[in-house]
Amino acid sequence: MKALSQNRRHPVVGVALLLLGLLLTGGLYSLATNMNAAGANTASQYSASDIADGEQLFNANCATCHGIGATGTDAGPSLVGVGAASVDFQVGTGRMPMQMHGPQAQQKQPQFNEEQTAQLSAYVASLGAGPAIPEDEYLDVDHEDVDIARGGELFRVNCAMCHNAAASGGALTRGKYAPTLHGVSERHIYAAMATGPQNMPVFSDTNLTSEDKRDIIAFLKEIEAQGSPGGFQLGSLGPVSEGLLIWTLGLGLVIGFMVWMTSRSS
């Protein structure tokens, strides 16, 4: 027992434990990195002509802010490694090129058509691996494995604090806001979760799997299709807006009734 106790206190044991810990940490990090890279675009997925055409479009329309080679400038960040999904979302929703500087990029009519957007995505993807444009399988809200109820749970846990429980959007700090998710395409919702545009966090596959994202999209499309069977939506902002409306109308009716009673008595 005494010899065993002495061996445990030997300096070599401490070094061995440290090396073992480093190996385990490195292995776990490598596993997580590979999981994220599994959905990343690489240049080999695109044709040379698409990449070349995308580079021309980029140099003519985007390099002023993002620099030649998309390495970034004082006016815009580097796009190396952001992936095709980020470009598809930002350009496809009209947020880029920006119309004006502000707290965040405004959604507007896209400047580029789908082919040009795909070419820009191909060029940026060729600069470094990043989140890929999702496969159609993960955009199919009618897929046999879709679980809308689970998608609602995931949405309320991860998204509702900014986008509102009814996905109608909400205000953030310093003039920023979380936009409504009604009318947004399945592809752009998925891309937003995968890339984290504006103030939104990135939900990688280690946070929300592709199946989780599909369930969330299915839930959003379900509540979008339901409409408002109960009457006025009032922005779907919940009891605050509804209570304010009832309080205002109620006070108006009471005041009106009192004025009428007063006029009758005189």
What confidence category does residue 4 fall into, taking pLDDT thresholds of 50, 70 and 90? very low
CA neighbor of 157 nearest in space, from 215, 233, 74, 105: 215
d(CA 132, CA 121): 9
The CB density around residue 158, as the number of other CB atoms within 10 Å, is 17
SS3 42: coil
* Confidence at residue 264, expressed as pLDDT on a 0 to 100 scale: 74
Identity of the amino acid at 160: A
CA-wise closest residue to 86 among 41, 47, 49, 56? 41
Write phi, then psi, for 209 (nearest 5 degrees): -70, 170
Identity at 198, one-letter amino acid code: Q
pTM over 0.75: no
Kindly indicate the confidence band of residue 265, based on its pLDDT and cuts at 50, 70 and 90.
Answer: low
Closest CA to 45 of 131, 153, 116, 168: 131
Confidence of residue 144 (pLDDT cuts 50, 70, 90): very high
Q: Where are the domains of the chain?
A: 41-131, 136-226
pLDDT of residue 80: 94
Banded model confidence at residue 229, pLDDT cuts 50, 70, 90: low
Contacts of residue 71, defined as CB under 8 A and 6 or more positions apart, other chains included, come to: 78, 80
State the chain's mean pLDDT as an integer: 85
* Res. 157 pLDDT band, cuts 50 70 90: very high
Q: How far apart are CA 170 and CA 235, in angstroms?
A: 10
What CATH number does domain 136-226 carry, 3.40.50.1240, 1.10.760.10, 1.10.357.10, 2.40.50.140? 1.10.760.10
Higher pLDDT, 166 or 146: 146
Q: Do domains 41-131 and 136-226 have the same CATH topology?
A: yes
Predicted confidence at residue 171, as pLDDT, reads: 87
H-type alpha helices, 62-168: 63-66, 84-92, 114-127, 148-158, 160-163
Instruction: Say how far apart CA 71 and CA 67 lie, in whole Å.
Output: 6
Residue 106 has pLDDT above 70, yes or no: yes
**Residue 31 predicted with pLDDT over 80:** no
- DSSP state, 165? T
- Dihedral sign (CA 231, 233, 237, 241): negative
Q: Does domain 41-131 have CATH number 2.40.40.20?
A: no
